[in-house]
Amino acid sequence: MTTVFCLVYFEALILQDGGLSEARFLIPIGGMLLGNSLGGTIIAVALFYNDLRRNENRYVSGLSFGAQRTEALLPYFRTALKSALMPSLGNVAVMGIVFLPGGLMTGQLIAGLSPMIAITYQIALMLAIYTSRTICVTIAIILTSYVSFDEFGMLKKEIFIGK
């Protein structure tokens, strides 16, 4: 869902040529947004629950001292979000210096498009990827937390396979 919103934003406001329904724009840009968001979400959700299970005593202590479930989960959420966003942030930080971005910019340069326009599109795409990944990770952790905890805020052990 989030990827769709970022894709619509990118297509409507950045490309500005009505290419929203054209497969030549929709498929590659949508694939980049979806692939990066999925990778970040997998990293974040796995890290969130692994960290929570490893430090369950600290989480339970927070609950016993009167913290709401969201307050007690906040440190684990921050760690998971930071870890999921580091690859995207690293790519944005070194873009053009060490890292020549993939498909979009290179394809436009080879096709003969102006380097300034290609760079503009690439910066917009990197920001869209970062935004999409951030929102997807946040929503995934929030949604999984609804089924992962009981009414007392305790982590359900039966949702983990093999543990």
Report the run of H or E that residue 32 belongs to, with start and end. helix 23-54
* Backbone φ/ψ region at 161: left (φ over 0), alpha (ψ -120 to 50), beta: beta
Alpha-carbon distances of 12 from 5, 35, 38, rounded to whole Å: 10, 21, 23
pLDDT of residue 138: 94
pLDDT in tens, the chain (163 residues): 677 777 777 777 766 665 556 777 777 788 888 888 888 999 999 999 999 999 999 999 999 999 999 999 999 999 999 999 888 787 777 666 555 555 566 666 667 777 777 777 777 888 888 888 999 999 999 999 999 998 888 988 888 776 5
The pLDDT, as a whole number, for residue 17 is 64
Please give the pLDDT value at position 153.
Answer: 87
**Predicted pLDDT of residue 4:** 76
What pLDDT does 127 receive? 83
Q: How far apart are CA 38 and CA 71, in angstroms?
A: 26
pTM assigned to the model? 0.80
| Residue 111 in tokens | 């096709």
**How open is the CA angle 35-95-27, to the nearest 5 degrees?**
30
